[in-house]
Structure 1
Amino acid sequence: MNNKVYHKIENSSIEDVLERARQYRSLLQPEMAISICLDIFAVDNNNQDALVIYILALTDQLSQSESKVHRNKITDSIKKLNSEFLRHYYSGIFLERQARSLLKHSMSRSFAYDGFIEAIAEFEIAEKMAPEHCADPILRYNSCLRTIKKENLQPRQEFDELY
């Protein structure tokens, strides 16, 4: 098995393959979407559509407790986006999804609060740069704020020193 090599897709099939990656994400199979994106990168290493799907599929795994998520892969991929707006927007999505995954653990709720606040800051920046009629950063910002309120999240409290 060690001598097997990956087969390359044709450049002309990228659009169809991208659609398959989107379908696998919607079927909650992020690992398959990630694999497809890697196949696209093998023939077009700067494909921005594949990069967005790859980032989203990696962040989809944050909600799967059994999944091992490589946060550096996510942040490194975000840096490759050509648009400053998209870099801020997807940084916000990464931070938001990371915060949502922390909500599942009672000891991590204050860290979730911090994550939502960081995501909100990224969405505020993205909102200022958004293309006309693009409400996505606003929707994400509002969702983060509503989650903070609904979950009654609070910032971490410094423990008083005992004298």
Structure 2
Amino acid sequence: MSMQHFETQEGEFQLKPLSREGIQAALSKAEKYRLLNDPSMAESICLDILKIDPDNKDAAIVLLLALTDQFGNPGVHQAVKQAKELANGFKDDYNRLYYSGIIHERQGTNALNSGNPGSHFDAYEWYTEAMKYYEKSEAIQPQGNDDAILRWNTCTRIIAKHKLGPRPKDDFIPILE
């Protein structure tokens, strides 16, 4: 296994690998750091887990969620790209669709909170796109798993609460002389 090296002003450092026996405890810590609103720490822990166990679905999910927690921060485009790559990498259709919905929903929340001109139209588009993913995942959800319904309902309530709607059509036709 190759080590990843990092250059700093003080010299070079390399990451230390986790033990396989420590994966479950590390995953628990990553979940706790997400709950403590420290998504970059959760992200780092999940990257360590996935370095040792690349097929660890739980670590991939926590990593995806930690990335979406960072959507309002600088560098959001890289976090979105990484989250989409993770979602597209899920082997089962339900998780691929459901977590794609999460990504779109979080982008809607980011747009809604940005306060940028026209961002309420962007938020509406992100939320409705998320709802399409949730509907698709609902159709194939595991028995007793209503997560997609809960997320769809949340998007519906946010749209209603903030009176979000589609972007108006631009009917402007320039007069040519």
Q: Secondary structure at the match of 1:59?
A: helix
Cα offset for 1:6? 0.5
| CA deviations over 1:27-58 (Å, ceiling 9, x no partner) | 00000000001111111112111000000000
Sequence identity (%): 35
Letter in 2 for 1:94: I
Structure 1 residue 130 corresponds to structure 2 residue 137: no
Aligned 1:20-99 pairs, distance under 5 A: 20-62=29-71, 64=72, 66-69=73-76, 70=78, 71-99=80-108
Contact map agreement 1:14 1:40 (CA 8 A) in 2 = yes
Q: Which runs of 5+ in 2 are unaligned?
A: 1-9
Aligned to 1:11: 20
Q: Secondary structure at the match of 1:4?
A: strand
Q: Secondary structure at the match of 2:55?
A: coil
User: TM-score, with normalisation over the residues of structure 2?
Assistant: 0.87
Letter in 2 for 1:113: Y
Hey, what's the Cα distance between the residues in 1 that align with 2:91 and 2:35? 25
Q: Which runs of 5+ in 1 are unaligned?
A: none
The structure that is helix-richer by fraction is 1
| CA deviations over 1:48-73 (Å, ceiling 9, x no partner) | 110000000000111x3x44221111
Hey, what's the Cα distance between the residues in 2 that align with 1:19 and 1:93? 21
Cα offset for 1:160? 1.9
CA RMSD of aligned residues (A): 1.2
| CA deviations over 1:69-114 (Å, ceiling 9, x no partner) | 2111111111111221001000001100100111122521101111
User: TM-score, with normalisation over the residues of structure 1?
Assistant: 0.94
The structure that is strand-richer by fraction is 2
Structure 1 residue ranges (4+ consecutive) displaced by more than 3 angstroms after TM superposition = none
Structure 1 residue 152 corresponds to structure 2 residue 163: yes
Aligned 1:90-129 pairs, distance under 5 A: 90-104=99-113, 105-107=115-117, 108-129=119-140
Higher relative contact order (CA 8 A, sep 6+): 1
